[in-house]
Structure 1
């Protein structure tokens, strides 16, 4: 399921996009906002994988929402714009696509296909019984066993694979890596982190439904309330 949000200040346009997205069963709307200020709060609480982002909002330009975020932690973006010349700025920001208003169902479906390809690239899924991840370092490629990786978090354009005291860097959207590693027991625990469930030894509650995960290595990883139900269900299933 792809968690999507809409940032659009025109209610009719926002509702129209909601109706069109309802036809796509793998898309779940988790939030909507009419302004940059509301969008910032919504991103923190809803943690979407995909954002339909209006270029021009009452309190600023849509791309301003992205600049403070590390690139690897940004949700996938589809810009909404009335400007036919917005392609270059959109792709400079690594947007998946941009839709000219008012976008039709065909254009939306094409953009969503690009999202699905980005989140689920055509690559063989790992075998959870025996799998490694390839990490390139210059001309060298190391195969790191997934069983040694405790958690993954974001550092700028990169993802950090934490394996004991070792940290390996790769470039891949965190949503794509989470989907690819799910069969090996990795789950998203935060917008900018995922964790191997077998490495968790304790869950410590914080305020507002958030928590901290203590791992066998001693590392502490944040667990947001958005991802908490799925992770707790996986931990409960593992104990049966």
Structure 2
């Protein structure tokens, strides 16, 4: 089991995070705290494997708290409203950085990374490994690991997989939920499989172009840039 501590000063956000963790049977929330000092006390008493940690707390910062954990330190996933702390967060070896309000996909992605690092890598058990696409009387089953990217074309989404393009009529938010934590949003109308990212080429205005394995290029919005770079850093890229 992954013994988990939540350090967050807003009770509603703590409750929401509990709901997002509930579908994961290997995760058990052993305690909560609303301040830095309470978080340190709970960590010393409960010895959690994982801490979901807010950046700004009433009596300090989550970055300060992370530096106070005694060895063996728990895994850390930050949960915050501020994108600008992403790189400092990974400087204290955080395994995830989630912006409020976090989604089920983002929480699942962070948990997958914790499992890999901790050796509890049963992460794909029970998870669908194919995307079902219906087109009239025809239903196609697309292997998730064959999908490179998704982008929008009018009212449709284009799923690029194994050199073919499959059309779906759904929202990019809904499809992101279905694809799971291996995929990350990089633009309001684009998703990429994160392990396909080879390089980011800067543009003048803070946006960029993502070069993927296989030769394709996807636009990167500056809105999503910090989170993508943080995810790549966490993966050791």
Which TM-score applies when normalising by structure 1?
0.48
What TM-score, normalized by structure 2, do the two folds share? Answer: 0.49
